[in-house]
Structure 1
Amino acid sequence: MHDSFVTHNSSSWQGEPPLSRGGFILLSAVMALFTGPAVVLNATVIIVSLLHKQLRQPLNYALVNMAVADLGSAVTGGLLSVVHNAQGFSSLGRTSCVMEGFAVSLFGITSLCTVALIAVERMFVVCKPLGHMTFQKKHALAAIALSWIWSLTWNVPPLLGWGRYEPEGVGTSCAPDWRNRDPHHMSYILVYFTVCFAVPFVVILVSYSRLMWTLHQVSKLACLEGGAVAKKELKVASMVVLMVLTFLISWLPYAALSMLVVFNPHLEISPLVGTVPVYLAKTSTVYNPIIYIYCNKQFQRYVVPFLLCREVRTQEDTSEVVTTVEMSTNKVSPA
């Protein structure tokens, strides 16, 4: 199994590796630079959320779900990429390659769907298109389940013969095969990127356009509203806008290159050029925890002491967090 996989890689390189030994080492080091913090930070968010009930609020469930997905992506995709690039080749067999491609895609699309769900949740809480409503635990759990079901639905077909997972870029990781010229497999890629990238992107665009317009109006009325609510809403907006920007920076080049190859089958993309968007997408696992730890004071109060191996601040501070959460449940609180 291992020999057949190496033969496949070698044939795609036409007998020559796409990178020098130093190039592979550099790529491994870059991935390690992003993957290490991604594993630590996402695991920390999950652990402190389990340890402290003050963080187990409905508005934070989506962030924890994203941390779970990003951690899974970092472990199955990031760490393997570090090891394989350090080796200069992939040591996976064919079956393991398929499993890696499936796992990375499953976690990655779940994370993207969670960003879209956070966008919808923010719009409903801030803009109130259906009138006043409280975002409850049942809503959060339903949204989380939807993100996993949606991702699973569209990543299983390659395991059943529609589409397939293959080595990508320089051959040290696996993903959906968007270079395949077979119409049967190309149809899967078109559907896949429509429902797993275009749909979340449109949802994010519509939701945050509505959100930013509402916040613009709220900021004008800040004096009438007392200022504090508007300030909280604008802070939440800054966090989610950063998450959307990192979503675009990380995933747009990968999606664009994939669609370019699908619609222009005769275009030749070098392995090195094909690798850059792939690994850029994989770096997304470290951005989100940094953003919401920095912007979300609830997480900040518990994550920072945990990372520094210190005790959580005084009980007075803890009660302040609880009060803040309770007051903001019917308004807007950093998610």
Structure 2
Amino acid sequence: MANSTGPQMAFYGSQDMTYGYPEGVSIVDFVRPEIKPYVHQHWYNYPPVNPMWHYLLGVIYLCLGFISIIGNGMVIYLFAKCQALRTPANILVVNLALSDLIMLTTNVPFFTYNCFNGGVWMFSATYCEIYGCLGAITGVTSTWLLCMISFDRYNIICNGFNGPKLTNGKAIILAFISWAISVGFGIAPLFGWGKYILEGILTSCSYDYLTQDFNTRSYNIIIFVFDYFLPAAIIIFSYVFIVKAIFAHEAAMRAQAKKMNVTPSAPAKPNLSVQRSVSLDSPCQRFSVVHLLTPYALISLQVCWAT
């Protein structure tokens, strides 16, 4: 039977409660003292979130992480196993799978562990920086690789045989550029330009976008341009023209059929529909990535320059 008397009940019973926490408790109160230097003063103003959110996030990340590790691991295995799959385009794809797999193994397990253990950072301050750095490197690498893949699709669909051909050497260079950009900006906070700190509900570590000094602001504006704006612009440019080319091709086919007084057979119509769906599937996937990155990027930039 629960104890309904005594000083504890008197203390909690006399106060307003939020998710079981007394009024005035901050989310930072649950952070260990040695980690508090990695918490910006901004987060001291917020109460703890509903514990159910932590468990829900933990379950979601556990399920998605398990599925994604198997999927990306399979991509890497098949690329290494099958000679026929080692095409220039697939060099970019396997690098994307490798980048995602590194993030899944160095970020997701620790995030999930935190979610099931109170929702605050449970590891060392040093690993907070490592966690943020690895998350930044792999996240930016994946973004740039998606950008490279998008431009390759644009080149093939819109330019055809007239465009420059992607070779193994060019694909390796593009993959190297993607990794180099991300590593360069990812390790910069470890050497004093920018910083990695706890963010949000203090379950994970990421860029410091709250400190309003020249060091932090200059770093954030640069990574906004090179880690978000440029790749997002190239992805959007590529797939806008890809979609236009797809519909233009269909219109030309219909016009040619009409000119020749030919009606597509019944079996051909579903095939054309499937081909269009497959062709449009990739642009939708890339646009969804840009759509997911945009709120975080814009809010980070806004907060960094807010007064």
Tell me the TM-score range normalised by the shorter chain.
0.7 to 0.9
Task: Determine the structure 2 residue equivalent to 1:27.
Answer: 57
Counterparts of 1:260 and 1:77 in 2: how far apart (Å)?
26
Whether contact under 8 Å (2:43, 2:200) holds in the other structure is no
1:37 corresponds to which letter in structure 2? Answer: I
**1:64 matches 2:106:** no
Q: How does 1:266-281 map to 2 (within 5 A)?
A: none
**1:254 matches 2:254:** no
Task: Determine the structure 1 residue equivalent to 2:75.
Answer: 45
TM-score, normalised to structure 2, is: 0.77
Task: Determine the structure 2 residue equivalent to 1:239.
Answer: 281
Task: Determine the structure 2 residue equivalent to 1:210.
Answer: 241
Larger radius of gyration: 2
**1:138 matches 2:138:** no
Secondary structure of 2:116's aligned partner: helix
1:205 corresponds to which letter in structure 2? Answer: I
Secondary structure of 2:297's aligned partner: helix
Counterparts of 1:15 and 1:127 in 2: how far apart (Å)?
52
Identity of aligned residues (%): 22
Shifted more, 5-14 versus 136-145: the winner is 5-14
Q: How does 1:25-174 map to 2 (within 5 A)?
A: 25-88=55-118, 89-128=120-159, 131-174=162-205
Whether contact under 8 Å (1:222, 1:230) holds in the other structure is no
Shift of 1:233: 7.2
2:140 corresponds to which letter in structure 1? Answer: I
Q: How does 1:225-236 map to 2 (within 5 A)?
A: 234=276
Secondary structure of 1:196's aligned partner: helix
Secondary structure of 1:50's aligned partner: helix
Whether contact under 8 Å (2:151, 2:235) holds in the other structure is yes
Whether contact under 8 Å (1:58, 1:137) holds in the other structure is yes
Shift of 1:216: 2.2
Aligned residue pairs total: 264
1:27 corresponds to which letter in structure 2? Answer: L
1:168 corresponds to which letter in structure 2? Answer: E
TM-score, normalised to structure 1, is: 0.71
1:105 corresponds to which letter in structure 2? Answer: A
Counterparts of 2:38 and 2:134 in 1: how far apart (Å)?
21
**1:185 matches 2:216:** yes
Secondary structure of 1:87's aligned partner: coil
1:49 corresponds to which letter in structure 2? Answer: F
Shifted more, 64-73 versus 11-20: the winner is 11-20
Q: Cα gap change, 1:186/1:126 in structure 2, threshold over 3 Å: closer, same or farther?
A: same
Q: Cα gap change, 1:132/1:182 in structure 2, threshold over 3 Å: closer, same or farther?
A: closer
- CA RMSD of superposed structures (Å): 2.9
Q: Which runs of 5+ in 2 are unaligned?
A: 1-31, 258-263
Counterparts of 2:45 and 2:158 in 1: how far apart (Å)?
58
Shift of 1:115: 1.0
CA deviation string 1:161-209 (max 9, x = no partner): 1100111111111111111122221111111111110011111122222
CA deviation string 1:235-257 (max 9, x = no partner): 55323212212202321121122
Whether contact under 8 Å (1:6, 1:90) holds in the other structure is no
Q: 2:252 aligns with which of 221, 235, 239?
A: 221
Whether contact under 8 Å (2:39, 2:199) holds in the other structure is no
Counterparts of 2:102 and 2:167 in 1: how far apart (Å)?
26
